């Protein structure tokens, strides 16, 4: 898209956590758009075509599982990497996130610097 800095859509319903991650991402060289629910994630992804979507899976209005499925089934957004960001743990959650269409899985709590490292890894693969 010719952007100077990669654009990240950060979808997280916990405001404090969303602000902390957004600040770290911005300081690390990313531009960040924020959404607090899955419905807004769909709208922002369609409008801005971010380079990566960081998707919390437990969200109000439309959960991250369904938002991911919808983004991956839409030819306009299917190519955008989605990283599941969730407090759900266990081996079954990684498989479930992958089936929904997530390209990677980061458990919460995740230190902000580790999150930046994962996003860079996803961008390098994209």
- Does the pLDDT of residue 5 top 80, yes or no? yes
Write out the E strands in the chain: 7-11, 31-35, 52-56, 82-86, 104-107
- Does the pLDDT of residue 110 top 90, yes or no? no
Q: What is the pTM (predicted TM-score) of this model?
A: 0.90
7-125: in CATH 3.40.50.11440: no
Cα diameter, the chain: 38
The domain segmentation of the chain, as residue ranges, is: 7-125
Tens digits of residue pLDDT in 46-59:
999 999 999 998 89
């Amino acid at each position: 898209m010719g952007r100077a800095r990669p654009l990240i859509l950060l979808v997280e319903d916990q405001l404090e956590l969303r602000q902390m991650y957004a600040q770290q991402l911005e300081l690390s060289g990313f531009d960040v758009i924020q959404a607090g629910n899955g419905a807004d994630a769909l709208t922002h992804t369609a409008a801005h075509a971010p380079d990566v979507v960081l998707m919390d899976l437990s969200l109000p209005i439309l959960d991250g599982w369904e938002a991911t499925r919808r983004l991956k089934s839409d030819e306009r957004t299917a190519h955008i990497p989605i990283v599941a960001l969730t407090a759900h743990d266990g081996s079954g959650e990684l498989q479930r996130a992958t089936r929904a269409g997530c390209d990677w899985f980061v458990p919460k709590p995740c230190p902000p610097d580790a999150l930046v490292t994962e996003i860079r890894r996803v961008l390098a693969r994209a």
